[in-house]
Chain A
Amino acid sequence: MEAGTSPESTETTNGAPDGWVGQAIKRKEDPRFITGTGRYIDDMTIPGMLHMAVVRSPEAHAAIVSIDKSEAEAMEGVVAVYTADDLPVEGGIPMVWDPPGVEVNTPEHMPLKSGEVKCVGDPVAVVLGTSKYGVVDAAELVIVEYEPKPVVVDPEAALEEGSPLVWDQFGTNKTHEWALAGGEDVGAAISGADVVVEQRIVNHRTAAAAIECRGCMAEARGDQITLFSSTQIPHITRFLMAGMLGMSEDHIRVVAPDVGGGFGGKLNTYAEEVLVCAISRKLGRPVKWIETRSENMSNTAHGRDQIATITLAAKSDGQVTGVRAKIVSDLGAYFQILTPFIAELGFPVAGGCYKIGGIDLHFTGVFTNKFATDAVRGAGRPEMTHWIEVMMDQLAQRLDMDPLELRRKNFIPTDEFPFTTALDITYDSGDYHGTLDKLLTHLDVDEFRREQAELRERGIHRGLGFSTYVEVCGLAPSRAVGPQGVGLQAAFWESAAVRVHPSGSATVYSGSSPHGQGLDTSFAQIAADRLGISPEQVDVLHGDTNQGPFGWGTYGSRSLSVGGEAIARASERVQAKAKKICAALLEAAPEDIELAGGEFRVRGQPDKTMTMADIAGAAHIPPNELPADIEPGLEETAFYDPENFVFPFGAHACIVDVDTETGKVEVKRWVAVDDCGPAINPMLIDGQVHGGVAHGIGQALYEQVVYDEEGQLVTGSFVDYALPTAAEVPMFETDRQETRSPVNSLGVKGVGEAGTIAATPAVVNAVVDALRPLGIDYLDMPLTPMRIWQAIEEAKGRGEGPRATEQGSDAGPHGRGAAGSGPTHPDGGGVA
């Protein structure tokens, strides 16, 4: 740790009694949003701007025989119609994972397709025109003749001999295999185990589904291009755009305006961003494209879509001795920037919060005729957490043991942190018993069990499920995940520049790119404490490559623990210089200057004080008393690369009622105790947990991206892709514990994805708890009414339920494939 950055040496008080950090102050972002004066991408126009509409493939796999654009070109208001032949670009969308020693079959991913289309929604032409409605009309007039080819949508079928190939050139649909094992031999643990539980667990395809779709607008002027884009990664986008456009970075500016939610879906560089730039350059006019929701469902990266086969070995007393996971990931037809790495990204928390002797992971990626999967809130960690937390309940059931007792028995003991796992990952800090104990102060399990038994007598099936999760975030130590680590061709430090203005207010430039998290506020709190001013005097700027240093963006719950730490460090450098100036003017030694109560003062001489405004004035208009070796100005920059990840954790409980007549699940109660270290702003933490859990409830119960056997997207809008509404989520009961991380001086860990990571197994465990008396011991998500009803009927058919009938279904609880997309369509959307 650098000098001057340890918590002990940081002075953090000013006008707020105990500093601004820790206070639930209201958000700096809110005034524009509540008055309708936010500035999102679709709110922006430039004189002379053209609208772009994309002609997309209705076929999941086909050769393009011909494209006739003459009728569209003749339409009034249409300026141009381009196909791939008309619009050469230097390269396609890059994929940035190149794992040492592993070959990843990586296809070309050009922004416009020529020759063949590989999934529904593939862009084959674009129409440019002066009218927003007109370009959509003209796109309908572009006649594309396709010759359909065989389609494969099931990732397991795609791996079978003789399957249709998505990419002939590779001779297989397998993209790569990646294996990782550590600790004791898992094979030996399994063969020597008292009990072995095994389960195939489908973590289905979902959508990020930010309420704002994607959109972008490019303006080429001279040899400069400005790209405005609804993105989580403006700086990375510029870097990648330079390669795709064959331009120098200094000729490209990327601006992320207000972004209406990301959830991983905007952690990417997309075809349309390249297209608007290339076309604006070609035509010399600004070009804007705004995604429709249907395009968002077909052409913004999906998430999850993994099938895990898990084997858990344990002793008869419940001690888990080894775990093996074989994971097949459906990657779709193309790679977005991180596609093949998403499942693997969760590996540091394989095994969860448990002390497990051996861990053995094997990943297989598969091409199918669907759009790419990539990051969606949690990206790899919800999947890892889901299977270990579901399996702990399975093991508890097998051992006839209380699931919480089993968890406690296997928790990494609090006195063993920092703890190095079987995979040689070091969990920074933790107290898993603490969060579970605290959870149980809010929830009386014995009372619940009495109530549950009573309700069962009356035919009401209520269940209680737990999830005790640990998350890995704070992406990331570059050495661990960069080219010489797991092989990402990137680094993951973060930047901050802190500029104090002559009057004493400040501007903070962050390389993070927040889009709803409230980081303008928490970043201002961090800087304010270190500068001796209030958060209202700190403006936080981000999302513009022409303002502030290069930065890696907002994702992976990294912005506070990496970006916030960079701001703390830059602010402390400013504070150190301010103390030197103050010392010179008050005729004291710099080490005798302290910052307290919003004032810089000489220790022991309370009458000798200066405010930041006084010091900033002197820094900008230096009095002659200031020694010549103090440079004018008051601005510092910091670049921070963490030495380790951070590992937030917590305990969540979910109570559900299941209507066994209709299969409908109602979430009655949610109790969450999370530990993400010391709170910068507790109000924001609660908000992140609420939203994260709702996202997880959505996946567990309603949401699913469904393609049918022909590769047609069944869930092409919010009519079919069912997000939870206010009526479907409970009011949340949240509490916190604060265990410092030793990784950064703030002691903080991320919280943006924690709720989503925690939630799905708690729901599944609760529903299974409710239905176990009916003979149901496992269910795959989403737990739609149809899936649950079928599972109940199938259990009856097996004679395990209270009433055996002839009814049943071949799409049972263990069956592969989709089973409906939500409460609005309980009997539709299946492919089984």
Chain B
Amino acid sequence: MSTVRLRAVVNGEQRESAVDPRLLLVHWLRDELGLTGTHVGCDTSNCGACTCLLDGAAVKSCTVLAVQAEGAELETIEGMGTDADLHPLQAAFREEHGLQCGYCTPGMIMAAEGLLRRNPSPTEEEVKSGLEGNLCRCTGYHNIVKSVITASKHGGRAGSRETEGAQA
């Protein structure tokens, strides 16, 4: 099997691998880099559990080849915040009970991050249509929508949390 060299910045760190050209981005993140917060839910880019940011835009990593990320900057849930320093979206999901089983949650947060970077102050309807590509079976979406609205009011955009404060 011939491999292809892949270099990308993942959560701020330069990473490099020799990968099978058909390797999916989600499997590179999960199986090679150990970033298991990005989940697989449907294999067909319907559910969005695998959503991460590629050069700042939300993509479904189950239908992106790893080699397509060559030279790119990738952001996953692990790069968003830590227990001690939660990203405003993470804090808001907890505050508003925007998760139950947690399986869709990383993809939801990354899709929401992509949305807030495009539209920092979305309306309820804009959040709903913005998250249309992410499925949740537990929450009925109500509290997810509230979480994103709350985060948007508390510095939802990455990098602004120091000034706005992380707690909803």
Residue pair A34, B93 in contact (C-beta under 8 Å): yes
Q: Is A539 an interface residue (CB 8 A)?
A: no
Residue pair A29, B102 in contact (C-beta under 8 Å): yes
Interface size class of A (residues with CB under 8 A): 35 or more
Q: Is B118 an interface residue (CB 8 A)?
A: no
CA of A740 to CA of B102 in the docked complex: distance in angstroms? 31
| Interfacial chain A residues near B129, Cβ < 8 Å | 726-727
A825 to chain B: closest CB distance in Å? 13
| Interface SS of chain B | loop
Q: Is A693 an interface residue (CB 8 A)?
A: yes
| A34-B43 CB under 8 A given contacts A687-B97, A695-B137, A732-B142 | no
| Interfacial chain A residues near B44, Cβ < 8 Å | 293, 717-719
- The residue that A36 contacts in the complex, of B41, B78, B137, B143, with Cβ under 8 A, is B78
Closest chain A residue, CB of each to CB of B41 = A211
Stretch from A510-518, A646-654, A792-800 at the B interface: A510-518
Stretch from A184-192, A257-265, A362-370 at the B interface: A257-265
Instruction: Give per-residue flags for B73-92: 1 if the beta carbon is below 8 A from chain A beta carbons, else 0.
Output: 00011101111001000100
| Interfacial chain B residues near A695, Cβ < 8 Å | 137, 140
| Interfacial chain B residues near A731, Cβ < 8 Å | 124, 142, 145
Q: Is A105 an interface residue (CB 8 A)?
A: no
Q: Is B40 an interface residue (CB 8 A)?
A: yes
Stretch from B2-10, B104-112, B156-164 at the A interface: B104-112
- Chain B 18-68 residues near chain A, CB threshold 8 A: 20, 22-23, 27, 30-31, 35-44, 46-47, 49
B64 to chain A: closest CB distance in Å? 16
- The residue that A34 contacts in the complex, of B105, B132, B140, with Cβ under 8 A, is B105
| Interfacial chain A residues near B38, Cβ < 8 Å | 36
Residue pair B94, A30 in contact (C-beta under 8 Å): yes
Residue pair A261, B140 in contact (C-beta under 8 Å): no
CA of A30 to CA of B129 in the docked complex: distance in angstroms? 25
| Interfacial chain B residues near A43, Cβ < 8 Å | 30, 36
Closest chain A residue, CB of each to CB of B142 = A690
Q: Is A384 an interface residue (CB 8 A)?
A: no
Residue pair A260, B39 in contact (C-beta under 8 Å): yes
CA of A261 to CA of B142 in the docked complex: distance in angstroms? 17
Residue pair B46, A31 in contact (C-beta under 8 Å): no
- Chain B 103-157 residues near chain A, CB threshold 8 A: 103-106, 109, 124, 127-129, 131-145
Candidate in B27, B38, B93, B140 with the most chain A CB atoms within 10 angstroms: B140
Q: Is A243 an interface residue (CB 8 A)?
A: no
Residue pair B41, A212 in contact (C-beta under 8 Å): yes
| Interfacial chain B residues near A472, Cβ < 8 Å | none
Residue pair B109, A34 in contact (C-beta under 8 Å): yes
- The residue that B143 contacts in the complex, of A261, A690, A693, A727, with Cβ under 8 A, is A690
CA of A692 to CA of B141 in the docked complex: distance in angstroms? 11
CA of A706 to CA of B128 in the docked complex: distance in angstroms? 28
Residue pair A726, B144 in contact (C-beta under 8 Å): yes
Residue pair B36, A36 in contact (C-beta under 8 Å): yes
Residue pair B94, A34 in contact (C-beta under 8 Å): yes
CA of A557 to CA of B61 in the docked complex: distance in angstroms? 35
Candidate in A34, A132, A689, A718 with the most chain B CB atoms within 10 angstroms: A34
Residue pair B78, A690 in contact (C-beta under 8 Å): no
Q: Is B100 an interface residue (CB 8 A)?
A: yes
Residue pair A260, B77 in contact (C-beta under 8 Å): no
Residue pair A210, B137 in contact (C-beta under 8 Å): yes
CA of A36 to CA of B42 in the docked complex: distance in angstroms? 18
Closest chain B residue, CB of each to CB of A698 = B137
| A718-B35 CB under 8 A given contacts A36-B77, A687-B143 | no
Closest chain B residue, CB of each to CB of A697 = B140
- The residue that A211 contacts in the complex, of B90, B97, B103, B132, with Cβ under 8 A, is B103
Q: Is A26 an interface residue (CB 8 A)?
A: yes
CA of A335 to CA of B132 in the docked complex: distance in angstroms? 36
Residue pair A292, B138 in contact (C-beta under 8 Å): no
Q: Is A635 an interface residue (CB 8 A)?
A: no
- The residue that A717 contacts in the complex, of B20, B42, B80, B137, with Cβ under 8 A, is B42
| Interfacial chain B residues near A518, Cβ < 8 Å | 100
- The residue that A260 contacts in the complex, of B35, B101, B132, B140, with Cβ under 8 A, is B101
| A691-B137 CB under 8 A given contacts A34-B86, A34-B90, A37-B37 | yes
Residue pair A261, B103 in contact (C-beta under 8 Å): yes
| Interfacial chain B residues near A260, Cβ < 8 Å | 39, 41, 101-104
Residue pair A211, B49 in contact (C-beta under 8 Å): yes
Q: Is A683 an interface residue (CB 8 A)?
A: yes
Residue pair B138, A516 in contact (C-beta under 8 Å): yes
Q: Is A602 an interface residue (CB 8 A)?
A: no
A410 to chain B: closest CB distance in Å? 30
- The residue that A732 contacts in the complex, of B77, B78, B131, B140, with Cβ under 8 A, is B140
Residue pair A30, B93 in contact (C-beta under 8 Å): yes
Candidate in A294, A690, A695, A755 with the most chain B CB atoms within 10 angstroms: A690
Instruction: Give per-residue flags for A702-720: 1 if the beta carbon is below 8 A from chain B beta carbons, else 0.
Output: 0000000000000001110
Candidate in B46, B102, B124, B131 with the most chain A CB atoms within 10 angstroms: B102
B1 to chain A: closest CB distance in Å? 9
- Chain A 515-547 residues near chain B, CB threshold 8 A: 515-518
Residue pair A729, B141 in contact (C-beta under 8 Å): yes
Residue pair B140, A684 in contact (C-beta under 8 Å): no
| Interfacial chain A residues near B35, Cβ < 8 Å | 36
Instruction: Give per-residue flags for A332-357: 1 if the beta carbon is below 8 A from chain B beta carbons, else 0.
Output: 00000000000000000000000000
| A516-B97 CB under 8 A given contacts A693-B140, A726-B128, A726-B141 | no
- The residue that A38 contacts in the complex, of B42, B47, B102, B124, with Cβ under 8 A, is B102
| Interfacial chain B residues near A726, Cβ < 8 Å | 127-129, 131-132, 134, 136, 141, 144-145
CA of A555 to CA of B82 in the docked complex: distance in angstroms? 33
Closest chain A residue, CB of each to CB of B86 = A34
- The residue that A687 contacts in the complex, of B78, B100, B124, with Cβ under 8 A, is B100
CA of A38 to CA of B102 in the docked complex: distance in angstroms? 8
| Interfacial chain A residues near B101, Cβ < 8 Å | 210-212, 258-261, 515-516
CA of A211 to CA of B31 in the docked complex: distance in angstroms? 20
Residue pair A725, B82 in contact (C-beta under 8 Å): no
Q: Is A27 an interface residue (CB 8 A)?
A: yes
CA of A815 to CA of B19 in the docked complex: distance in angstroms? 53
- The residue that A263 contacts in the complex, of B22, B80, B131, B137, with Cβ under 8 A, is B137
Residue pair B43, A293 in contact (C-beta under 8 Å): yes
| Interfacial chain A residues near B43, Cβ < 8 Å | 292-294, 717
Residue pair A517, B37 in contact (C-beta under 8 Å): no
| Interfacial chain A residues near B46, Cβ < 8 Å | 717-719
| Interfacial chain A residues near B81, Cβ < 8 Å | 35
CA of A689 to CA of B141 in the docked complex: distance in angstroms? 11
Q: Is A213 an interface residue (CB 8 A)?
A: yes
| Interfacial chain A residues near B47, Cβ < 8 Å | 211, 293, 718
| A36-B106 CB under 8 A given contacts A212-B39, A691-B138, A726-B141 | yes
CA of A293 to CA of B135 in the docked complex: distance in angstroms? 13
B96 to chain A: closest CB distance in Å? 9
A109 to chain B: closest CB distance in Å? 27
- The residue that B140 contacts in the complex, of A515, A690, A717, with Cβ under 8 A, is A690
Closest chain B residue, CB of each to CB of A690 = B140
Apart from A35-B37, A717-B43, A727-B128: 15 A-B pairs, beta carbons within 8 A = A34-B99, A34-B102, A36-B76, A42-B40, A212-B49, A260-B39, A263-B137, A516-B100, A691-B140, A694-B140, A695-B140, A723-B135, A725-B134, A725-B141, A732-B140
Contacts A/B (CB < 8 Å), 29 sampled? A26-B97, A30-B94, A30-B99, A33-B105, A34-B90, A34-B105, A35-B77, A36-B37, A36-B106, A37-B37, A37-B78, A40-B36, A42-B30, A210-B103, A211-B47, A211-B135, A211-B137, A259-B101, A261-B100, A293-B43, A690-B139, A691-B137, A718-B135, A723-B135, A725-B134, A729-B142, A731-B142, A731-B145, A732-B142
7 residue pairs, one from A and one from B, having the closest CB atoms: A36-B37, A516-B101, A33-B102, A260-B103, A694-B140, A690-B140, A36-B77
